[in-house]
Amino acid sequence: MTRRILIIDDEDDIRQVAAMSLETVAGWDVLLANSGKQGIERASADQPEAILLDVMMPEMDGPTTLLKLKANRSTAHIPVLLLTAKVQGPDQRRFAEMGVAAILFKPFDPLTLAKQISAALGWSDEG
């Protein structure tokens, strides 16, 4: 099944690696946004099945973007996976309380990223 996923990350490298990984390995459709603001607009307009959201971004960071997505009726139902290079426990607890579906860590393995996302979201039709 072709999935559609939105990647929100200010880092060009990360967006491109994640996109080529999900497109090449899993055959998913990938939408891209380079800021929280752009991501919210794309999520509302394109209704992806999941969102991969970077934590540390300038202007609007990942947690703020997540709260706005969850507060918006048109995007509240979309599962959000946070992508972070930080691994501290207090951060993880805070994110869980904010309604995040899962936390994935950078650096990720491009060959298994789709499997990680599928496993986290219970998508049994993939890898």
Partner 1 sequence: MRDDPRSEPLTDPDPIPPETQSQEQKLQTMLSALWDRSRHTVVERAALLQEAGALLTGNRLDEATRQSAVDSAHKLAGVLGTFGLPQGTELAREAEIFFGRSTPPDKKEIEQIQVLLAELARLVERGPLGP
Binder of partner 1 out of 13, 77, 122, 125 (CB under 8 A): 13
Question: How many C-beta atoms surround the C-beta of residue 58 within 10 A?
Answer: 8
- How near is the Cβ of 120 to partner 1 at its closest, in Å? 18
- How near is the Cβ of 25 to partner 1 at its closest, in Å? 5
Nearer to partner 1, 16 or 74 (CB): 16
**Would you call 90 exposed, middle or buried from its count of C-beta atoms within 10 A (0-12, 13-18, 19+)?**
exposed
Question: How many C-beta atoms surround the C-beta of residue 19 within 10 A?
Answer: 19
- How near is the Cβ of 74 to partner 1 at its closest, in Å? 30
Near partner 1 in 91-120, by CB under 8 A: 106-111
